[in-house]
Structure 1
Amino acid sequence: MSDTTFADERIKRISPLRKALIRPELGGIVGTVAVFTFFLMFAFDSGMFNAQGVMNWSVVSAQFMIIAVGACLLMIAGEFDLSVGSMIGFAGMMIAVFAITLGWPMWAAILITFFICMMCGALNGFIVVRTGLPSFIVTLATLFILRGFTIFIPQLLERKTIIGGIREAAEGDWLAPIFGGKILSGAFQWMGDQGWITVFDRGNLAGKPVVDGVPMLIVWALGLVLFGHILLTRTRFGNWIFAAGGDAQAARYVGVPVARVKISMFVFTAFCATVFAVCQVMEFGSAGADRGLLKEFEAIIAVVIGGALLTGGYGSVIGAALGALIFGVVQQGLFFANVESSLFRVFLGVILLLAVILNTYIRRLITGER
């Protein structure tokens, strides 16, 4: 008997090129390479890639990244959450009301805000799975409800829509530095002493590095990306997320708890939005009723650029992170390249259209549709 192994004709062979084309991260990788190449050519001498420039676009990218992780997992599960932006504004305002107006300890204000927002996320998910209504409609309603409360509550209690004093209230708190602190300050001071990064040369800050540490916002972003990637690719729950978004009814037939998966993803999306909000109020030292505007759309665009299908069941957290990185680099890079900043919105529209076209082509490759 011959040792030759014959290929089974029933097994569809996929070429290496086809495997590469159907990777969800492809669009994000191509976009990242293109964006960095462009700004290396046209903005290299502007300071965009020195320590302070890198930190500027890294912080902006991290903001997008935090909410993109939650939006990505939810979209793969087959749902949308349009209330993310309003959740950011609402969460920040609740922290200010609890800590400043009511005088609670900052740690208590943060924890109760997380609880309230995650319960709002659970309510969104419960309504969607119990009624069968599109998540687009349910969370659109939540968007207006939360934004209305974000404006009404501070006006009722403080007669204004911006509440300050958060940075002072957070001094000495044990939980606040986890969201508003910095790490590796000693390493940056050492790099400044070695002349590797710029330091201040006059005044009280003489000798101090211009970049004095890595903000916790970036740490949270990287941590959430790592968590989301492991959850999605290395756990049974990750398989359930793909199954719930790909074909919910078929998933139920094989024992996947679709309702629990979807509700959990709504809760996680609210958690990510609240992390963003807490980091933001700690950075600015205040909460405003207009915070978070349009963030829900920016998160969805980052996820789509990262390769997720709008129909659910396909996507990548790494791709979403790359989409967020593209956002941050372009938003800050236009300033360094002396390009009119309003063109950022033009870029968003163009890149979204291109990403949807690419994703549609990928879906057809996967399903064999014409």
Structure 2
Amino acid sequence: MFDTAAKQQGDERVKSRSRFREALISPELGGICGTVLVFTVFLLTAHDSGMFNAAGVLNWSVVSAQFMILAVGACLLMIAGEFDLSIGSMIGFAGMTIAILSVNMGWPLWAAILATFVICVAIGALNGWICVRTGLPSFIVTLASLFILRGFTIFLPQTLVNKTIIGGVLDVADGDWLAPVFGGTFLKGLFQWLGDIGLIETFSQGVNKGKPVVDGVPMLIVWALGLVLFGHILLTKTRFGNWIFASGGDAESARNSGVPVNRVKILMFMFTAFCATVFATCQVMEFGSAGADRGVLKEFEAIIAVVIGGALLTGGYGSVLGAALGALIFGVVQQGLFFAGVESSLFRVFLGIILLFAVVLNTYIRRIITGEK
């Protein structure tokens, strides 16, 4: 029987059972250290900029939630030993599909959203099926999907409406029962109460006088936290979670032990596509439009967040909580540079440095786990 992780019940590949060694190989260690470091830096450099008041916290929380939604799907898939480079294009494709079906074809928004989920999850299943049936690396299969989906995302709106941005989604969303699930806010009453008692800032004039600056938790954040909780429980508390680790750790041994490796991998591709579609739907509801350029490079940012969170590129090891912390680091740094008055282009420099550091650290951890020299 495969264990969910070495840090929980012990792994036969781990050579030492000392507490220090167990802590060292914890998937979340890098994410925890990085989170503490990042928050410490910005508490010292940007504490007077509004980064940690209600509006500032909402700002970087929303950005972190975007990374987090994608990171959950990418994390489970990477632990299962596969990659999906098409999720960035899937975001643009899903958003454009929702807009075309609802705005241009007159579908109810709820029907357009549900149809888009079915289409995108089916594409994820197709990616997985091709990988397991042909034996081709998922890197190649999903790279092909990246270009195919991006091409359709540009071609379809140009052909139908002769433009690459379709607006008017909020108009068709008015009164729709499903729209608030992706574009609404949660706990409005609580935030109004917090504003009334002075715990958070309120508007002092204008039509919004007396209303809190932050009037609730965006559904994007609710989706992010919900997916993290679901992914963590699935991975650490269920037999299917054991199968995910086993499929990425040693697929052949897993098959010999009765694990349905092919089914696990296909389902993880489908879940990754689901997460990308959740992101796209929330984004469309936020902006009220769909653009052909949405989601560019998001696949790499998701993978980097997962690597920062402690997942091994070789599969079979990782943590959803670690990936969530990696996404949090992304959001805080991206917005923190703005609050600290640092040139925003340096965010890419940070990505490169942190990726290199995370890969080196994860390689060292892999050697500890496997006993390699």
| Both proteins in one fold, TM over 0.5 | yes
Return the alpha-carbon distance in structure 1 between the equivalents of residues 27 and 367 of structure 2. Answer: 13
- When residues 169 and 362 of structure 1 are mapped into structure 2, their CA distance, relative to the original with a 3 A threshold, is same
Amino acid at match of 2:177: W
1:163 match: 166
* Structure 2 residue 330 is matched with structure 1 residue 323: no
User: Which of 225, 249, 259 lines up with 1:256 in the alignment?
Assistant: 259
Which one of the candidate residues 82, 103, 108 is aligned to 1:79? 82
Runs of 4+ aligned residues of structure 1 deviating over 2 Å after TM superposition are none
Q: d(CA) in 2 for partners of 1:344 and 1:99?
A: 36
Counterpart residue number, 2:10? none
Instruction: Give the secondary structure class of the aligned counterpart of 2:290.
Output: strand
**1:286 aligned to 2:289?**
yes
Structure 1: unaligned runs, 5 residues or longer: 1-10
Cross-structure match for 2:176: 173
Note the alpha carbon deviations across 1:312-341, whole angstroms, 9 max, x for none: 000000000000000000000000000000
> Match of 2:51, SS?
coil
1:295 aligns with 2:298: yes
Give the whole-Å Cα distance in 1 for the aligned partners of 2:362 and 2:143: 25
- Counterpart residue number, 2:116: 113
Q: Which aligned pairs between 1:92-241 and structure 2 lie closer than 5 A?
A: 92-241=95-244
Partner Cα distance (2:249, 2:112) in 1:
39
> How far apart are the structure 2 equivalents of 1:12 and 1:123?
40
Contact 2:15 2:368 in 1 (8 A): no
The one-character-per-residue Cα deviations of 1:115-160 (angstroms, maximum 9, x if unpaired) are 0000000000000000000000000000000000000000011110
Shift of 1:353: 0.3
1:265-284 aligned within 5 A: 265-284=268-287
Which of the residues 62, 72, 85 maps onto 1:59? 62
Corresponding pairs, count: 360
Per-residue CA distance 1:285-307 (angstroms, 9 max, x = gap) = 00000000000000000000000
Which of residues 344, 357, 365 in structure 2 aligns to 1:341?
344
Question: How much does 1:13 deviate?
Answer: 4.8
Conserved? CA contact 2:182–2:220, under 8 Å: yes
SS of corresponding position for 1:287: strand
Please report the TM-score for the alignment, with normalisation by the length of structure 1.
0.97
- Which of the pair has more CA radius of gyration? 1
Residues 12-51 of structure 1 aligned to structure 2 (within 5 Å) = 13-51=16-54
Moved more, 209-218 or 197-206: 197-206
Residues 186, 216 of structure 2: 8 Å contact kept: yes
Two-structure CA RMSD over aligned residues (Å): 0.8
Q: Unmatched 5+ residue regions in structure 2?
A: 1-13
By how many angstroms is 1:12 displaced? 5.8
Q: Deviations for 1:239-288, whole angstroms, at most 9, x for unmatched residues? A: 00000000001100000000000000000000000000000000000000
TM-score computed with the length of structure 2 as normaliser: 0.96
The partner residue of 1:68 within 53, 57, 71 is 71
